[in-house]
Amino acid sequence: MNDTGILFVGHFQRIAQELKREMALPMFTSPAWRTQGMAQKKNIGVIVSDNLSDLERSKEDHPEWVRIYVMETLDIDHVQQAINRAEVFRFVKTAKDLHHLEEALHQAVSHFQLVSKHTTLLHNLRNQNKKLEKVTETLERQIKIRSEKLNHIQTELNKTQQYLQSVNTLLSEMNASVTREDLELRLNHMLKELLPIVSVRLVLGASKEMLAELKHMHVQKVVVPLIYRKKTVGHLYFLCRDDVASKQLIHEAGLLKQIADTVALTIEKIKIFEESVKRKEEWQKTFDAIKDPVALVGPSYQIIRANLSYSLVSGMKIQNLVGKKCYEVFQKRSEPCEGCLLKQALVREIPQNFELKSKAQETFYATSSFPIQSQEETGVVQYYRDQGEERRLRYQLIEAEKMAEMGILAGSVAHEINNPLGGILAFSQILLSEVSPTDAIAEDIKEIERAAVKAKNIVENLLVFSRVSQKEDQHSLAIEEVVEKALSLAMLNLKHYAIDIQKTYEPVPKVHGDFNQLVQVFLNIFQNSIQAILEKKIPKPMTGKIEIRIYSQASSGQVVVDIQDNGKGISKEHLSQIFDPFFTTKNKIEHPGMGLSVSYQIIRQLGGAIKVDSDLGVGSNFKIMLRASMVLLTRLKAP
């Protein structure tokens, strides 16, 4: 550093003196840039100035110098301008900060010396290059002489290399064959260019037809056996145009043996491949024959393989399932299914069983996770058995048993109660005939009669509702009667509750179905509406309200029952779940959550539909759509 001088252009005399003592470097100062004067100062390598024009002129006169710009305000535009115009090396905010300025000067001096060394080195390299150019010219003359001698050798080598390349290509082509026909086709394509032959035939085993065909061909043949593990598995017949070609071919005995060995090995590989494909197809057929969804799933829930049932349930082709997350395609979820034990099965290395509640398929799956851990593959076989229908049948069986027991109980009640009720009715009518209508006791007797009639109707309703539905019970029926029967049953225990029932019944065709089952459907919906109204606790004098409207849709040929209540409503979160088996927001012991699910199944079995719309805190609307009876529709259209 001691040989490199620093020039300060501007009012930096005092600062230069202080830095000279600290840095022990040659320091020069000048109030402004003077081109003539600066040239006389020797060993200058660094210039410091607060004037961009001075730095720019120094770049023009001494481009090798390193420039430091003292600039109080460092803004990006000014900095960019200084770099572009003067190739400034460093920026210093103030020259008064001697420590910062000294550090920048050291860096600048080091940079200047490094560039100077590079310049000197470059100059030396240029001189060396000139010397090398002369040596190169001499070598080129010698190489030219030798190249001429090597051209002939190179030509021969090229021929040999081309031949070897053709052989290697042939061997690669044979190894790439996947069928025997493909192998023979590749052999003919490649060997016609390599050997003096017309064609080559591949004969496996004792093919009498092929041998007879070759015998009647008027060409020369060279036969090479195909040997694999010391057993002859076939022969290669090289067909030549004449004796000259066949003799030339015999001289290539080494190549022919190499080809034959490769063909024998390829044939064995093809046999193994064909057997593997056959077994894979058999395995896939067996896999697809399983009616329940089955998939092999990796540790990160990615699908490795899946059967046909899994594909159908997911709605995607089997090949498109591979690599997808099982919970995304099978259950349309963004995260693993609730209760999934795939990870536990891998960790514990024993099968795990859990129940999967499927929103995507609206059912339940008894799911088993069987871990597989091998060198080739790690994963879990996920087996899904649909239990939705089984659950529904079980519930319907329980309901049928309950209805049967209720029927027995109702029959017993009817037997025990109807006789006394008959006596009460008879005696009340006798008493009414014996007293004057103006008598005070007459109104009491009429009340007894009305109560007895009501009790009798209740018993009859109970008997009708408790009957187990049979196929023969399905017939054309008036939907108004069904709704009225269900409404009367629903309102039995609501004497003391203020619920206003509003009805609008338009003339509609009859529908086809089971009276008792349809009563059960509407009873479940009415009970749901009544419960929602009671839970809302509507303040007086306002009342709960259920609006029932029956009408027909000519466009769809359906009869619609529209039931609107002003209960507490259903949240958007639960709206999509209300028809799920066992879904309930109430006490699961008192309300098992099967009422609306059973209603949904009954209507669906009749070819109808249920739609629900609800606003939390406002109320709910149920639309039950049933197909009109075809017999009745025909009659209605008749003139």
The confidence score (pLDDT) of residue 401 equals 66
**Both 111 and 227 in a single domain?**
no
Higher local confidence (pLDDT), 562 or 148: 562
Q: Using N-to-C axis directions, what is the helix angle for 180-194 and 98-175, rounded to 10°? A: 100
Average pLDDT over every residue of 469-492: 81
Using the structure block, give the residue that is written with the tokens 């949240």. 571
Mean pLDDT for all residues in the chain: 81
CATH number at residue 398: 1.10.287.130
Average pLDDT over every residue of 615-621: 88
**Both 499 and 553 in a single domain?**
yes
Cα angle vertex 242, ends 240, 246, to 5°? 55
**Both 354 and 413 in a single domain?**
no
Q: Are 311 and 330 in contact (CB under 8 A)?
A: no
**Is 161 among the domain residues?**
no
The confidence score (pLDDT) of residue 208 equals 64
**Both 407 and 335 in a single domain?**
no
**Both 123 and 25 in a single domain?**
yes
CATH number at residue 367: 3.30.450.20
**Is 154 among the domain residues?**
no
Would you place residue 40 in the very low, low, confident or very high pLDDT band (cuts 50, 70, 90)?
Answer: low
Cα(551)–Cα(562) distance, integer angstroms: 8
The confidence score (pLDDT) of residue 234 equals 85
The confidence score (pLDDT) of residue 504 equals 94
CATH number at residue 607: 3.30.565.10
Beta strands in 197-302 (DSSP E): 199-204, 220-228, 231-240, 294-297
CATH number at residue 64: 3.40.50.2300
Count of CB atoms within 10 A of residue 277's CB?
11
Between the CA of residue 555 and those of 510, 552, 631, what are the distances in Å? 16, 9, 18
The confidence score (pLDDT) of residue 19 equals 85
Using the structure block, give the residue that is written with the tokens 């009501």. 454
The confidence score (pLDDT) of residue 200 equals 85
Count of CB atoms within 10 A of residue 179's CB?
11
- Show the tokens assigned to 579: 């028809």
**Is 324 among the domain residues?**
yes
The confidence score (pLDDT) of residue 631 equals 41
**Both 602 and 500 in a single domain?**
yes
Average pLDDT over every residue of 493-520: 85
| Residue at which a domain ends, from 468, 488, 503 | 468
**Both 514 and 621 in a single domain?**
yes
The confidence score (pLDDT) of residue 590 equals 44
- Show the tokens assigned to 360: 């995507």
The confidence score (pLDDT) of residue 156 equals 72
**Is 134 among the domain residues?**
no
pLDDT at 577 over 80: no
The pLDDT tens digits of the residues spanning 302-329 come to 998 899 888 888 888 888 889 999 988 8
Cα angle vertex 473, ends 468, 478, to 5°? 115
**Both 247 and 370 in a single domain?**
no
Higher local confidence (pLDDT), 381 or 361: 381
Least confident among 104-108, 241-245, 454-458: 454-458
Average pLDDT over every residue of 146-175: 75
- Those residues whose C-beta lies under 8 Å from the C-beta of residue 541, and which sit 6 or more positions away, are none
**Both 304 and 362 in a single domain?**
yes
**Is 27 among the domain residues?**
yes
Would you place residue 588 in the very low, low, confident or very high pLDDT band (cuts 50, 70, 90)?
Answer: very low
Domain with 77 in it: 5-128
Q: Report phi then psi at 95, rounded to 5.
A: -80, -10
| Residue at which a domain ends, from 386, 415, 441 | 386
pLDDT at 509 over 90: yes
**Is 307 among the domain residues?**
yes
**Both 243 and 322 in a single domain?**
no
The pLDDT tens digits of the residues spanning 165-218 come to 777 777 777 777 778 888 888 888 878 777 888 888 888 866 666 666 666 666
**Both 480 and 610 in a single domain?**
yes
pLDDT at 482 over 90: yes
Average pLDDT over every residue of 524-541: 82
Average pLDDT over every residue of 153-164: 71
State the total domains in the chain.
5
pLDDT at 513 over 70: yes
Average pLDDT over every residue of 512-535: 88
The confidence score (pLDDT) of residue 224 equals 86
The confidence score (pLDDT) of residue 601 equals 77
**Is 153 among the domain residues?**
no
Cα(121)–Cα(16) distance, integer angstroms: 32
The confidence score (pLDDT) of residue 206 equals 60
Would you place residue 510 in the very low, low, confident or very high pLDDT band (cuts 50, 70, 90)?
Answer: very high
- Those residues whose C-beta lies under 8 Å from the C-beta of residue 22, and which sit 6 or more positions away, are 98, 102
The rounded percent of the chain whose pLDDT value lies above 90 is 8
The confidence score (pLDDT) of residue 637 equals 36
Least confident among 127-131, 251-255, 297-301: 251-255
**Both 624 and 509 in a single domain?**
yes
Q: Are 303 and 326 in contact (CB under 8 A)?
A: yes
Q: Are 58 and 67 in contact (CB under 8 A)?
A: yes
Would you place residue 630 in the very low, low, confident or very high pLDDT band (cuts 50, 70, 90)?
Answer: low
Higher local confidence (pLDDT), 121 or 400: 121
pLDDT at 632 over 50: no
**Is 164 among the domain residues?**
no
**What 3-state DSSP class applies to 427?**
helix
| Residue at which a domain ends, from 423, 443, 468 | 468
Q: Are 533 and 539 in contact (CB under 8 A)?
A: no
The pLDDT tens digits of the residues spanning 223-278 come to 888 888 888 888 888 888 888 888 887 887 788 888 888 888 888 888 888 888 88
